[in-house]
Every structure is written in structure tokens, then in C-alpha cells.
Structure 1
Amino acid sequence: MRQDDEGPIAANAMDRVSWALRRAEWAVQALKEQRLRPLGMAAAQYSLLISVHTDPGLTGAELARRLNVTPQAVASLVARLEQRGHLERQPHPRHGHVQELHLTDAGRDALRQADAVIVEIEQRIAEKLGPEDSTRLTALLDQVADAVREA
């Protein structure tokens, strides 16, 4: 018996909810990368910028947890965005050794342009699904997230 044949694998393994979620995420991420590339931005940079916009003052460690990436990955992204003038570090008001991240004016401009691209992608999805299914999908995905957190 070969090692990869030791345990049973369900015939419908690729039809599971988790794989459907992953296929959808791959498709969305690929389109985001393609559409953001002309702006000189990657999807990961957009995610970081929108997170800092939503919660100004996040630290690198907080961003790593939020984006589900390593602190080293965040540090690399932050360094690139800081070099472009999109982010600035400011000392934490109570913990001087901690650096908070804030968008610069250039960062807000870059984020506006990138967000317009993301809105177009989301509109494309919503048009394909229709308003009722789009709303329902969002609610179902929230339920999936809740179920996984409860596990």
C-alpha cells in the first residue's frame, strides 16, 4: 500500500464548502491582483492600507493578526508603503517603543484609487448574483465565519 492511499478520502472532497470558499477566494484575489497592478499596488498592500484607514494607529503586530500573516510579512509591506510615502509611523502615546501606523495624504489618495478598483470587482460580483443572492451570500459567509470561530 502506498502512503498516500492509507486513509479514506471522500469522493466529494473537492465539492465541500471549504473548497468552494477557497476557489472563490482564489478567483477574487487573482482579479484584485490583476486590476490593482496598473496602480502599482498588490492586494496585500490594499488590505493593509484599508485596515489602517479603518483603524488608524494599528501596530504591526495587530495588523499581522488581522491580516493573518506573519509579523515579518507586515514589516516588509509597511516598509514598502512607507518608502512610497503612503504610511507613516508615530510613537504610541503610552508605549514609546511601540509604533502606530497612519496613512499619509498620498496613502489616502492611493487607497481611494485602489478602493475604486475593488468596488468595481464587488459590483461585478453583485451584478452576477443579483441583489437578493448577493445579500444572502454575505449573510451566509458571516454565518460560516461565526461557525468556524465557535469550533
Structure 2
Amino acid sequence: MTRNEEEPVGPDALDRVTWALRRAELAVQAAKEQRLRALGMAVSHYALLITVHSQPGLAGAELARRLNVTPQAVASLVARLEGRGQVERREHPRHRHIQELHLTEAGREALRAADAVVAEVEQQIKDALGAAPAEQLRALLDEVCEAVRED
């Protein structure tokens, strides 16, 4: 067997900012997932609830775009949270075929509890980095978003 000398990635692949971002995101997601499990919630549920809270009335297709998941994944999540009484669909005032999503009181309560857990993860990061570096990191991440945004 002969070895192909051509490497599939550049020599710096594991030292790139994008790889560090991915590792950090996976670590944060794992911490949130583990802690939210005690509430019977997944990170995807939290993401949906907080997005609907911040932008009530979103339709499923737009919500899927905001969460970067398929419309089928959103439909499944909405059905699950609707079954728990945490979200409700309402008919759009002008387009009767569009269903808007809104939090119910149970959804707001679930979001409050989940957000407290996520805030603990946030505090763990701030404690490890220090307040000023944590704020600097947040600002840099905002800059990363702007740098790669395609308008």
C-alpha cells in the first residue's frame, strides 16, 4: 500500500480561528445540554423558545432560517413544545395560510427556568476568563459575525 503524500488539510488546520470557534461552541453546547436536561429540555428547545420570545409571530419557515435548521426540524420542535403547552400557533392576521408562533405562559415559565441555567454557563465562562476579557470576547465574536456576513 502506498501513502498519498498530499495532506487533505493545511498544516495549520487545527490552529485556525474557525476550528477554535467550533471547539468552543461544542463545549458550550455540551454544558448547556447537560444542565438543561435536568429541566427536561434540550438546547434546541431553548433556542426555539428564546427566538420566539424575542420575535413573536414568526412563521415556521422563518424560524427555521433563524435557527439554521430545516423546516421539518422546526415543525418537529414546534409540535413537541406545542404538546407541552409552551408554544401556540395563531393564524396570521392577513394571510390565513400562515401560522404565527407565540409563547404561552407555560413557555415563558420554561424559558425563564432554562435561561437561568444558561446564565449559569455564561457566568462559568466569565469567572474563568474574567469580566473584561469575557466582554472583549463577546465583542470579537460580534465582529466575526460581521466579517463573514454575506449581504
**TM-score (norm. length: structure 2):** 0.94
Q: Name the structure 1 match of 2:108.
A: 108
Q: State the 4+ residue runs in structure 1 displaced beyond 3 angstroms.
A: 5-8
**1:51 maps to 2:48:** no
Q: Which amino acid aligns with 2:62?
A: E
Over residues 38-72 of structure 1, what are the superposed CA-to-partner deviations in whole Å (9 max), with x where a residue is unaligned?
10100000000000011111110111000000000
Distance 1:117 1:144 in 2: 26
Change (3 A) 1:8 1:52: closer
Change (3 A) 1:8 1:72: closer
Q: Which amino acid aligns with 1:126?
A: K
Distance 1:99 1:150 in 2: 29
What secondary structure, in the 3-state scheme, does the structure 2 residue paired with 1:90 have? Answer: strand
Q: Name the structure 2 match of 1:91.
A: 91
Q: Which amino acid aligns with 1:132?
A: A
What secondary structure, in the 3-state scheme, does the structure 2 residue paired with 1:121 have? Answer: helix
Distance 1:113 1:125 in 2: 19
Over residues 87-112 of structure 1, what are the superposed CA-to-partner deviations in whole Å (9 max), with x where a residue is unaligned?
00000011010000000111111110
Aligned residues: 150
- Structure 1: segments with no counterpart, 5+ residues: none
Identity of aligned residues (%): 67
RMSD: 1.5
Q: Name the structure 2 match of 1:20.
A: 20
Aligned-pair CA distance for 1:9: 2.7
Aligned-pair CA distance for 1:6: 4.4
What secondary structure, in the 3-state scheme, does the structure 2 residue paired with 1:115 have? Answer: helix
**TM-score (norm. length: structure 1):** 0.94
